[in-house]
Amino acid sequence: MEGLHEEMRREQYKENNNKILYRVRNNDQSLTLIKVAAGCPTNDAERDIYFSLRGDDWQGLDELGKCIGRNTKLRDLKLHMDLRGDMPDEDDYDEYADPHQALPENDPRMKQTVLFCKGLATNTSIQSIHLNVLGGNIFGLLNPFFKQNQNLNELVIHDCHYYQFWDDLISALRDCVSLKCVKINHMELMGEESGEIFQTLRIHQPQLEVLEFPANQLSRRSSEGEEELSNLLRDCNQLHTLDISRNSLSDDALQGGLLPYLGKLRFLNMSWNLLTITWEFDGWQALATLLKDPTCNLEELSLNGNQIIGKRLRSFARALAKNRKLKILDLTNNVIKAAGWDAFSDVLCDTSSINNTFNSNHTLRQLIKEDVSIENHDTLPGHIEQYLTLNNQHDDKKKVAASKIMQYHWRNITMFPFFEWELKCLPIAVNWFDNVPSFPRPRCEIEMSKLQAIYEFVRGMPMECADGYFGRNKKGSKKRART
C-alpha cells in the first residue's frame, strides 16, 4: 500500500512539473515566479509555481533550464537544492573530510543541475534570484547567467556553503553589475570574509539600495568587516536599508567608525548583537544621540533582544521628543516592565497642556513587534498602546495632534487666548473643528466643542460680531445695531 501511494505521488509531481514546463515554454504572462525544490508544494497557490525535484535523477530539470533561458516573462527564481554527497559509512568516517562535499560529476542530479544552469544562462528577464543550495559550486555554475543578465537587481543567498568556492561567490557579486538588493543570510561569515564582500559591493555595486547580512560573524577574528562596512556606507549613497542583526557587533564597531554613517539610512536592524555599556563608550547612548540629530533619516530602528533597560531606555524616549522621522523603534524581547514603557508616555502625548499635547511626538507608530516564535510576547501598557494607535490613524500629523487634543482636552478647550487676534481666528478655529477626525471622540462631541468656541467669540466680542454681520446689510444698519 505504501508503495502504491509513493507511485501516485510521483505521478502527481510529474504532472505538475509538466504543467510548469508548458507554461514556461509558452511564455505564460501570469507565471512570473518559479520555485525549484525537493518535496511538494504546501498549498494550492504554491502548486502553480512549484517545480519538484523528484527522486535521485531530478528528471526534467535540464528541460526547465532551456525553457527559462528562452522565457521573457519570468521575474523571480528560487532554487532550494541539496548538492551534497552522501555521508560516508561510520567505518569509513574521516574527521577531516568536508561534510559538505558535492555530488560527483557523474551523479544524475549533478548532471541535471549543470544542464539547468547552462540553459538558464541566456535568460535576461529574471530580476530576482534566491539561492538556498547546500554543497556544490552553484556560484560557478551560474557565473554565465550573472554576467549575461543585466536586469538582475536582487540576489539572495541563504545558508549556502562556500568554503571551497569562495572566488566564485565573490565573482558573482562582482559580475551582477545591476544589483540593488543583496541578502546574504546565515552563512557565519567572519570579519575577513565579510570585509571582502563589502569591499566588492562598494566597488562594483554603487547603486546598492538594500543590504541584509544577518546571522553572520562580521566582528569575529578581524576588524576588516567593520571597517569595510563603514566604507560601504560612506560611499554608497543609494543605500537606505541595512540589516546587521545577529553579527556579534560590540561597541567597538560603532566607536570604530560605523556610527557616523548610520544616520544616512532609513531602515536599520541591529537586533541581537552585543552592544554594552563601558566606562569609555556607551553604544546605546550613542544610538539615542543619533536619533536626536535633525539630519538623521532613520524611519525604522530595530533593537530586538539587546537588553535595553533603565536610563538607556529613557535616553531613547528623550531622543524621540524632537524626532519627527522615526516611525518604528522595535524594542521587542528586551524584558521591559510597565515602568520602563512609561518613559515614552509624555513623549507620545504630554497631557499637561494643550500646547504640550500639540508638540508631542505624533510620528512613532510601533515600539514592539509580535514575534510568533515566542510564547510570551512583550506587552505595552494600555495608554502607550492608545497613543501609538492615534499616531497610526493618519499620515497628516496635524490631524493626529487634533485627535489627541480632542481625546484629552475636549472639555477644556477655550478660545480666550486667541481673542487678541479678534475675529481673524474664528474661521481658523471652526475649520480646525471641522477637520478633527471623528476618532477617538464622537462627532457630536466635536460639534459641541465647535459651538462652544463660536459662543466664546460672540460673548467675548459682541460688537465686533454685530458689526461684521450688520455691515453687510443696508445703510443705517450699524446705527440700529448700536441702539
Residues in CB range of 152: below 8 A, 6 or more apart: 126, 127, 128, 129, 146, 176, 178, 179
Weakest-pLDDT range from 80-84, 124-128, 378-382: 378-382
Burial of 73 (0-12, 13-18, 19+ CB in 10 A): middle
Weakest-pLDDT range from 40-54, 143-157, 322-336, 443-457: 443-457
* Peptide bond between residue 104 and the one before it cis (omega within 30 degrees of 0): no
Segment (H or E) for 329:
strand 328-330
What are the helix and strand counts (H, E) for the chain?
A: 22, 11
Residue 215 to residues 62, 246, 259: CA-CA distances in angstroms? 33, 5, 20
Q: How far apart are CA 419 and CA 409, in angstroms?
A: 19
Q: How far apart are CA 17 and CA 35, in angstroms?
A: 11
Q: Is 110 left (phi over 0), alpha (psi -120 to 50) or beta?
A: alpha
pLDDT tens digit sequence for 430-470: 666 666 665 556 667 666 666 666 656 566 556 555 555 44
Residue 482 to residues 315, 460, 470, 474, 477: CA-CA distances in angstroms? 61, 16, 10, 15, 9
Listed in sequence order, the DSSP H helices in 71-165 are 108-120, 138-141, 143-148
Query: If pLDDT is split at 50, 70 and 90, which confidence band does 478 have?
Result: very low
Sole residue written with cell 475675529: 423
C-alpha cell at position 354 = 494643550
Count of CB atoms situated within 10 Å of the CB of 385: 14
Residues in CB range of 327: below 8 A, 6 or more apart: 299, 300, 363, 364, 365, 366
Q: How many residues does the chain have?
A: 483
130 has a pLDDT exceeding 80: yes
Q: How far apart are CA 78 and CA 127, in angstroms?
A: 11
Three-class SS of residue 229? helix
pLDDT reported for residue 433: 64
Residues in CB range of 387: below 8 A, 6 or more apart: 344, 345, 348, 349, 404
87 has a pLDDT exceeding 80: no
**Residue 216 amino acid letter:** N
Average pLDDT, the chain: 83
Residue 372 to residues 305, 369, 375: CA-CA distances in angstroms? 15, 9, 7
Sheet of 210-212: strand order equals: 50-53, 33-38, 76-82, 128-134, 154-158, 181-185, 210-212, 241-243, 267-269, 300-302, 328-330
pLDDT reported for residue 124: 96
Domains and CATH numbers, the chain: 1-84+99-173 (3.80.10), 410-482 (no CATH)
Q: How far apart are CA 26 and CA 15, in angstroms?
A: 17
Picking from 219, 208, 211, the residue whose alpha carbon sits closest to that of residue 268 is 211
pLDDT tens digit sequence for 262-300: 999 999 999 998 876 555 678 888 899 999 999 999 999
Residue range 349-371: mean pLDDT, rounded: 89
pLDDT tens digit sequence for 110-120: 999 999 999 99
